[in-house]
Every structure is written in C-alpha cells, then in structure tokens.
Amino acid sequence: MSEERIPRQVEEADLGAHSMSPQEAFVHSCIDGVLNVEDIADLTVLEPALVAESVERMISLGLVEWVEAKVSSAPPAAQLVEDVEIDEALQDKILQTFKRADRLNHYELLGVTTNSDRAEIRKAYFALSKTFHPDSYYGKRLGSFKAQMEVVFRKMTDAYEVIGRQQKRDAYDRYLKRSIVVSAAEEKISRVEERAQAMSKALTRAPVAERQAEPVDPEAPSRDWQPSQAPSKQSRSVVSGSPDHERMQRKRELLEKRLRGRSRRPPRKSEPVRSMPAPTAKVGAKTALRDLTRSLKRTAGVTGGVDRAEHHIETARLAEASGDLAAAATALRMAITLDSSRSDIQEQYRRVNSHLRVQLLDIHREQAKYEEDNNLWAAASISWAKVADADPKDAIAPRRAARALLSAGGDLRKARDFAQRSLDLAPDSLEARLLLARIYIQAGMDNSAAKELDEAAKLDPGHEMVKNLREQLAG
C-alpha cells in the first residue's frame, strides 16, 4: 500500500510574492492539512497526478509542505540527570528502550527481522543482555536505571523464548500478522472519517455556482497570475452565447470569486457579473451537497474527467474482491461524501462496514486469547476492551478485560468498571463477583470487597476462592 501524502499550507507564506497558474491556485485553496492528494482530486475534478504536480511546484515555492508523521520527542534532559556510574549515552539508551518496549514486537525488541534465523536471534539476544542485564554492571551505582533494565531484560528474554523456538514463533508470527492487519484497518477507519468531514466542509464552504464552474483545463495554454489581480481575458475570439463562451464565463467567475476571497477586492466593473445563487450554507448542507454532486458530475462530463464518486466505487469493488474490507469501506465512505444522494452506495457501505466489524471483532478475540495465553496482559486488556465495545451484549469480554487490567497492574478504576459491566450483563456470574472482590481488595476497598464476597457466597457457599479471599481480608 502506497504511503498517504497529505499537503498543508505553509503558515505566513507570501502568496503575492509568487506566480501561480489558475490550476495551482485552485488546488492551493483546497489544501487544509487533512485532505490527501486523492481527496483534492475529488474536489477539483483533476487527475491525482496533476494535483500532485501542482503541489510539488507550490512546495518548490515554499507555499506548501507535506505533512510528516509525528515522531516522539526525546525525554527532557532533566530526566537523565542522576548520580549513577553509567554514562549518559547508556542512560539514554536504557530510558528510550524502556519507554518503547511495550510498543515494539519481539523482532523489533531484539533488533532482528522476521526473516532472521535462530542463530541470528540468539546472537542478538546475548549481545543485548550485555547491555541491559544489571549484572553486567556489578558494583556500580545504577539508581532508577536498574529497575528499568530489569524490566527491559525480562521483556527481551520473553521475546527470545518465543521467537527462538519454532513452534512458538509460528504462533507468534500468525498473531503478529493479524495485529498488522487490524491496526491498518483501524487506522483507515479513523482516518477516513477525518477526511470525509474535511471534504464535506470544503464542499459546503463554496457557493453552488462556484462548483458549477468548470475547473481549469490542464491542457489550456499556461499563464501566470498574481493572487492580487484578476486573470486577464482570453486572447482567442469566441462568439457570444456559444458553449465556449459560456464555459469561459463560468471559469472566469470561479477564478474571480476565489481571488476576491483572498484579496477582498470588488469585482471588475468592466466585466458583467451574473446573478449568483446564495452560499450553500443558507440552503442547508444536504441541499448543498446534492447540488454540488450534480455540478461535479456535469463538470466531469464536460472536461472528459473521471466521476470521482464512481472512481471510489470501483476502488471499493476491487478492494472487497481482494478481501480488503477496510479499504472497501474507506472508498465507499468517500463516495458517499461526494454523492450523498445515492442510496445504493449507502447500502453497499452499510453491508461492507457490517462485515468489517464482524471481521475485526473475530480478530480482536483471537488476539486477546493469544495475549492471555502468553501473559501479555496489557495487550490483552486492550484487545478485550475492543471486543467489549464492539459487542455490548457480551458479558465475557468486559470481565476478561478487567482480569487483564488487574493482572497487568493497570488502572483499577477501569478494571472495576469492566467487571461491574460484566456483572450487570450476567448478575449470577460467580466469576464476575470474585473478580470484582479481588479488584476492591487490590484497591484497598475492603468493605466493598466484603459485600461482593457475601454475594458470591450466596451463589456458591463452599467455593474455595470465596474462603481464601475472606481470609485475605481478615488477615
């Protein structure tokens, strides 16, 4: 999958200092730091390649830049100041690895690849043990770094025990593959909503007449213009009232409106100004989007361009055929944004999205079970929480999310809420009662724990854990 490219306008850039073609000005007006190149192509009814070309030229002028992925910053220097007998470079390495350990998979943690053989993995593990095992610094003051090193070394040992053995490695590889698939799907789902909302705002921001104007023909002779002045009249002669004249008039109106928006200058008196409809905000978003859809289709037909809604529908069809439901749902969501009047697209989206939710739910369950079996409690708590959110009637998922949080030493308040939610769904669940009692004991809420144990005893008076937990409270 190609990397998504998102342009944004450079703050305080001086537009008046540079010449831009009408096409570049049109593209620039659609850049907001959220929409990607494909989205801007949808708005402008230009080919994505032409949009990318315009963006690249504006980047060369210092007017636009690509949005870069966020990179976590280094810890403040004050965190590294401690009276210890290891150098600052090692302190920084320990601290960074400690902070990132939970986000790294076993291969990343050991610094090997998924194709590394057992000998390479073993070599990497023992090399890292010399750095992160506290015994390597016997007799030296390690301060708080000792505890961090112990945590990191334990995680590295766990990773080595898994990917250093073929059977466990095969199971982990299947788990890792599912993790990558589900993470990519969730990222697409989250991102498409942001894109769709930005697209709707961009569409409804413009008057209907502005959308009905034909986009700049990329094949037309290039001519530069300054943002502070209107474009010059066409040099070629056309007959008044002809189709060419009408298209030129609509194009001129579009460009002048965009220029007036930037320079706040009144329209030129030397040119007739047609009566313009009111902005779409006054006729309602739904009416606006319907009108915009029609005008975009007409524009695509006049220019020979692609109906962008149909383009997304075809993308969705191919994605679904290949089994990528997340990509299919994403494409259909954007198609709906561009053509909200079509009930068939909305029905396709509901169908695909329903299948996608079931698919993700099944994957999260599989992931959670693997994480439980391998004592990956923090990860298991997240996976079970996602299952619980996706299936509100499931009483087991919130209980297992609570158990995972308790085992991971996580947020006891969240653990209590999950356990209580499970109990609300299944009031006669002995496991949920006992789990809630354990959470209260861990939180120091003995009275609440005793009440839960009393309720548990009503369900099974002779249960061993009821007896043990009561002894723990009394003790």
What is the C-alpha radius of gyration for the chain, rounded to an integer number of angstroms? Answer: 31
Residue 23, pLDDT score: 82
Asked whether residue 91 is domain-assigned, the answer is yes
Let me know: does 405 contact 415? Beta carbons within 8 Å: yes
SS3 13: coil
Asked whether residue 126 is domain-assigned, the answer is yes
CB atoms inside a 10 Å sphere around CB 101: 17
Asked whether residue 49 is domain-assigned, the answer is no
pLDDT tens-digit profile of 278-309? 333 444 545 544 554 455 445 544 444 447 88
State how far the alpha carbon of 472 is from the alpha carbons of 340, 371, 444, 448, in Å: 61, 29, 12, 14
What φ, ψ does residue 7 adopt, rounded to 5°?
Answer: -90, 155
For the chain, 475 residues long, give each residue's pLDDT as a single digit of tens: 456 889 999 988 888 888 888 888 888 888 989 999 988 888 887 888 999 999 999 999 899 999 986 554 444 444 546 778 898 899 999 999 999 998 899 999 999 999 999 999 999 999 999 999 999 999 899 999 999 999 999 999 999 999 999 999 999 999 999 999 999 999 999 899 899 988 888 877 654 434 444 444 444 444 443 433 333 434 344 445 555 555 555 555 554 554 444 444 444 444 443 333 333 344 454 554 455 445 544 554 444 444 788 999 999 999 999 999 999 999 999 999 988 889 999 999 999 999 999 999 999 999 999 999 999 999 999 999 999 999 999 999 999 999 999 999 999 999 999 999 999 999 999 999 999 999 999 999 999 999 999 999 999 999 999 999 999 998 7
Residue 43, pLDDT score: 82
Asked whether residue 374 is domain-assigned, the answer is no
- Expressed as residue numbers, the domain containing 81 is 77-164
Asked whether residue 319 is domain-assigned, the answer is no
Measure CA of the first residue to CA of the last residue in the chain; give whole Å.
59
Asked whether residue 160 is domain-assigned, the answer is yes
Burial class (CB in 10 A: 0-12, 13-18, 19+), 463: middle
Nearby residues of 379 by Cβ (< 8 Å), 6 or more positions away: 367, 371
Q: Where are the alpha helices (DSSP H) in 18-165?
A: 22-30, 37-44, 48-60, 88-100, 106-110, 118-132, 145-163
Identify the CATH number of the domain in which residue 90 sits: 1.10.287.110
HSE-CB at 352 with a 13 A cutoff on CA atoms is 26
Asked whether residue 419 is domain-assigned, the answer is yes
Domain ends where: 132, 164, 196?
164
Place of tokens 């995680």: 155
Domain count, the chain: 2
Place of tokens 């313009």: 276
Place of tokens 């995972």: 404
Place of tokens 């939180």: 443
Residue 309, pLDDT score: 87
Q: What b-and-e string marks burial along 391-418, b requiring 16 or more CB atoms within 10 Å of the CB?
A: beebbbbbbbbbbbbbbbebebeebbbb
Let me know: does 121 contact 163? Beta carbons within 8 Å: yes
Domain ends where: 140, 164, 188?
164
Burial class (CB in 10 A: 0-12, 13-18, 19+), 385: buried
Domain ends where: 113, 144, 164?
164
Identify the CATH number of the domain in which residue 425 sits: 1.25.40.10
SS3 66: strand
pLDDT tens-digit profile of 70-111? 554 444 444 546 778 898 899 999 999 999 998 899 999 999
Let me know: does 39 contact 334? Beta carbons within 8 Å: yes
Asked whether residue 417 is domain-assigned, the answer is yes
